[in-house]
Amino acid sequence: MRVHSIDDLEALYPGIASISKATWAKDTPVVNDAYRKLIERAPFFAIASIGPDGMDCSPRGDGPGSVHILKERRLAFPDRRGNNRLDTLRNIVRDPRVALLFLIPGWEECLRVNGQAYVTTENTLRERFSFKGMLPASVVVVDIDTMYFQCARAIKRAGLWDEASKQDRATLPTAGELVKSVIQDFEADAYDGALQERQSKTLY
């Protein structure tokens, strides 16, 4: 049966009546010393955005410390080279609402940030993210509305950081095969053959 109301939804979860105070009270709009450590150590996050053409959730990876804390309620990160679809940036320009989910390998909790974002080409900000003389085309700034850590249950259930959870790449489709599954005349082998070299030359 489809759930149509909040009352019906909450009736499915009687435990919410006894939910701990910390579950709600742990939200904060400020990057304190504890949350600073997490942001500075995270090499990966996903950013969700929304615009008139729909929603998007995009992975972002870089070395630890690649997300800069500009103020106690403001973060910034570079838009490194990608597929040039610009799905996230197109959404932010039209609707600033974003949600970020930070992951740190070996840490079973995760960090959630909700806020308002904008895209900037301000040179002083771009220069903060210079890599071997290369500057990002733009920087995304996020003003934090709220942030909090998510408990470890999901990552524990997934065994995300367990060695036994790793999949054999040979049993999964390649990038070229994934494109070919949609575009039948696509040259998957040629694409895959050049992929590693192309990516190594265009990471930044």
- pLDDT at residue 17 above 80? no
- Share of the chain residues as helix, strand and coil, in percent rounded to the nearest 5: 35, 30, 35
What are the angstrom distances between the C-alpha of 93 and each of 2, 54, 89, 116? 35, 13, 6, 11
Instruction: Give the confidence band of 106 by pLDDT, cuts at 50, 70, 90.
Output: very high
Residue 149 CA to residue 134 CA, distance in Å, equals: 33
Q: How high is the pLDDT of residue 14?
A: 86
Tokens of 194: 């050049």
Task: Tell me the chain's radius of gyration from C-alpha atoms.
Answer: 20
Higher confidence at residue 103 or residue 26? 103
Mean pLDDT across the chain: 94
Number of CB atoms found within 10 A of residue 95's CB:
14
- pLDDT at residue 49 above 90? yes
**Residue pLDDT, tens place only, 133-148:** 999 999 999 999 999 9
pTM: 0.92
Burial of 118 (0-12, 13-18, 19+ CB in 10 A): middle
Q: How high is the pLDDT of residue 35?
A: 97
Q: How high is the pLDDT of residue 30?
A: 96
**Contact (Cβ atoms closer than 8 angstroms) between residue 117 and residue 140:** yes
- The 3-state DSSP class for residue 159 equals coil
**Residue pLDDT, tens place only, 166-176:** 999 999 999 99
Mean of pLDDT values over 12-39 = 89
